[in-house]
Amino acid sequence: MRIAVGQLWQETNTFNRNPTTLADFQNWGIATGTDVLEKFGETGELGGFVSGTRQWNSPPELVGLARFLCWPSGRINREAWEAIQETFLKTLDVAGHVDGVLIALHGALAAEGEGDVTGALLEQIRNSIGPEIPLVGTLDLHANVTRRMMAQADLLYGYHTQPHLDQFETGLRAARGLRLMLERQHRPFKYCRKLPMITAAESHNTFTGPPAPLYRRLEQLEREPEVLSAGLYMAMPWLDCKELGWTVTLHTVTEDERWKTVVAEIAESCWDLRSAISDVERYGPNEVVAKSLGHGGHPIVIGDGADATNSGAPGDSTVLLRELMKQQPIPHGAMTFLVDPKAVIHAEQAGIGGAFDAFVGGNFAPEFSEPLRFRGTVERLLPMQFELNGALGRKMPVQMGRSAVVRSGDVAVVFTERSGPGSSPLLYETAGLKPRECGIVVAKSPTAFRADYDPFVAASFIADCPGCATPNWSQLKFQNINQPLWPLQEIANPEEAEWCR
């Protein structure tokens, strides 16, 4: 038996004007054919596919298609999207006959001219393999599940955790689902409910946040013999595309009214939670730094969701850096990072120990922050690469290009050439800084940072800054979504949204 395996993973923030290019994917490692499993066979969902299929009674031969992954950013440009499609079609062709496909997807991925890249790719794979071959996909919990995705894939498996810690397990679940499908030789029954709502990411925590009981319910459902997959997708809200909203899905081996009721009940609970999830205590830039200084304990982590590289913002906002500079002294020091390739070059030219004096940041999203003049001393120059093991990654090689540490008074800034996980203290540790001992550390992430920071910080505060991933919806111009969509419009009952029916 031969199973084709592939991955296309990126989260798109359509409010980030900077397109994602083929070079961005190359930076994170494009692989085709046998390289997919040789290089990435232990990483995230792909690791789960490999491990899961090995547990089958007669393990199948795995055939690598393609692996494209890169960090969240703006829409994929046309050139990259065309190259991705061509590569998948070509490798499917080279693979010849396969008995099933396992594909790791994100589900909130948009390209220039295509708002539903995930659905489009599933459709192309389906056209290539024909209607009979099982097609099983995995999705991020923030997928914007579309009708096309539901129609084209036989089974979809979403993460059940936020912070995302179960990529590998999601791969395992998908491999199990495919096995059951092949054994039964029966197509699953699909149940899906779209909800006309988006919510900010800070309270999406599936361990401690309002949606936690719903995710326990999904796990419970998946333990039932008749249920193949139970999904609740809270949607990447900075995705100005059709059908944007939460989705509840259920894939079963039997057709039963009961499943419709289960989906309707979960959907109703989601709708009832929408205000609780959106009710997040945020502090303006000045206040959040003052509050951190006034806390007394350390380290304090400040989550800057609006400039979250994890949510596809460019990561070069100067808003918090400006406040940190203003509110010195900062006992035990502060650290933040900016994606700023020009600043890296400037630091390299100054050399270690040299004087740094340049305008930094505010370049990729000038509508949200301005460049800031930053004067300091270059402390370190290094390649920013590490292996992510925590929120969002398992054995995931991270490559953020060249980087520089520049210190000004109590504030250390890590400038990186490229974007990467804003939720991980590893970024600072790789740069030789000590986030576990400092006064204030900035995480460019709305909530995923908690998985890595909570074990050692004295407190965490959420900043309310401008940025491409702001939860202040009125600051963003949505043009392509289906409406009404709560909270952009006040809706009393989800039935009011015809597009969700």
Here the tokens at position 60 are 């199948």
Rounded Cα distance between 97 and 191, Å, is 30
**Identity of the residue, 161 or 377, whose beta carbon is nearer to Zn ion in the bound complex:** 161
Q: How many residues bind Zn ion (CB under 5 A)?
A: 2
Reference 420, options 105, 78, 40, 27; nearest CA is 27
Rounded Cα distance between 59 and 11, Å, is 32
**Identity of the residue, 64 or 422, whose beta carbon is nearer to Zn ion in the bound complex:** 422
- The residue range among 30-38, 62-70, 142-150, 315-323 that interacts with Zn ion, by the rule CB under 5 A, is 142-150
Per-residue binding letters, 81-120, with Zn ion (x by CB under 5 A): ----------------------------------------
Rounded Cα distance between 324 and 318, Å, is 10
**Identity of the residue, 142 or 160, whose beta carbon is nearer to Zn ion in the bound complex:** 142
Residue 498 class from Cβ within 10 Å (0-12 exposed, 13-18 middle, 19+ buried)?
exposed
Q: For the CB of residue 140, give the shortest distance to Zn ion in the complex, in Å.
A: 4
- The residue range among 120-128, 133-141, 295-303, 454-462 that interacts with Zn ion, by the rule CB under 5 A, is 133-141
Pairing of strands 355-360, 372-390: antiparallel
Q: For the CB of residue 347, give the shortest distance to Zn ion in the complex, in Å.
A: 32
- Number of helices followed by number of strands (H, E) in the chain: 14, 18
**Identity of the residue, 46 or 139, whose beta carbon is nearer to Zn ion in the bound complex:** 139
Q: For the CB of residue 11, give the shortest distance to Zn ion in the complex, in Å.
A: 6
**Identity of the residue, 198 or 347, whose beta carbon is nearer to Zn ion in the bound complex:** 198
Q: For the CB of residue 179, give the shortest distance to Zn ion in the complex, in Å.
A: 26
**Identity of the residue, 165 or 330, whose beta carbon is nearer to Zn ion in the bound complex:** 165
- The residue range among 71-79, 83-91, 132-140, 288-296 that interacts with Zn ion, by the rule CB under 5 A, is 132-140
- The residue range among 57-65, 137-145, 255-263, 370-378 that interacts with Zn ion, by the rule CB under 5 A, is 137-145
Q: Greatest CA separation found in the chain?
A: 71
Residue 269 class from Cβ within 10 Å (0-12 exposed, 13-18 middle, 19+ buried)?
middle
Q: Which residue has the tokens 């419009």?
A: 489
Q: For the CB of residue 143, give the shortest distance to Zn ion in the complex, in Å.
A: 8
Q: For the CB of residue 27, give the shortest distance to Zn ion in the complex, in Å.
A: 20
Rounded Cα distance between 396 and 102, Å, is 19
**Identity of the residue, 321 or 391, whose beta carbon is nearer to Zn ion in the bound complex:** 391
**Identity of the residue, 237 or 333, whose beta carbon is nearer to Zn ion in the bound complex:** 237
- Walk across the sheet containing 31-32 and list its strands: 31-32, 61-69, 2-9, 100-105, 135-139, 155-158
Q: For the CB of residue 459, give the shortest distance to Zn ion in the complex, in Å.
A: 24
Tell which one of 67, 75, 142, 298 touches Zn ion (CB under 5 A). 142
Q: For the CB of residue 160, give the shortest distance to Zn ion in the complex, in Å.
A: 12
**Identity of the residue, 28 or 415, whose beta carbon is nearer to Zn ion in the bound complex:** 28
- The residue range among 124-132, 134-142, 435-443, 457-465 that interacts with Zn ion, by the rule CB under 5 A, is 134-142
Tell which one of 24, 45, 114, 140 touches Zn ion (CB under 5 A). 140
Rounded Cα distance between 30 and 233, Å, is 27
Q: For the CB of residue 195, give the shortest distance to Zn ion in the complex, in Å.
A: 17
Rounded Cα distance between 50 and 104, Å, is 12
**Single-letter amino acid code for the residue at 425:** P
Note the helical H segments in 3-77.
22-28, 35-40, 44-54
Q: For the CB of residue 162, give the shortest distance to Zn ion in the complex, in Å.
A: 7
Rounded Cα distance between 52 and 270, Å, is 31
Q: Whose CB is nearest to Zn ion?
A: 142
- 3-class DSSP assignment, residue 162: coil
307 makes contact with Zn ion (CB under 5 A): no
Q: For the CB of residue 305, give the shortest distance to Zn ion in the complex, in Å.
A: 13
- The residue range among 94-102, 139-147, 332-340, 352-360 that interacts with Zn ion, by the rule CB under 5 A, is 139-147
**Identity of the residue, 159 or 478, whose beta carbon is nearer to Zn ion in the bound complex:** 159
Here the tokens at position 22 are 């083929």
Chain-centroid distance, C-alpha 201: 11
Phi, psi torsion values for 206, nearest 5 degrees: -90, 0
**Identity of the residue, 238 or 486, whose beta carbon is nearer to Zn ion in the bound complex:** 238
Span between the terminal Cα atoms of the chain, in Å: 40
Phi, psi torsion values for 391, nearest 5 degrees: -60, 135
Give the interface with Zn ion as residue ranges (CB under 5 A): 140, 142
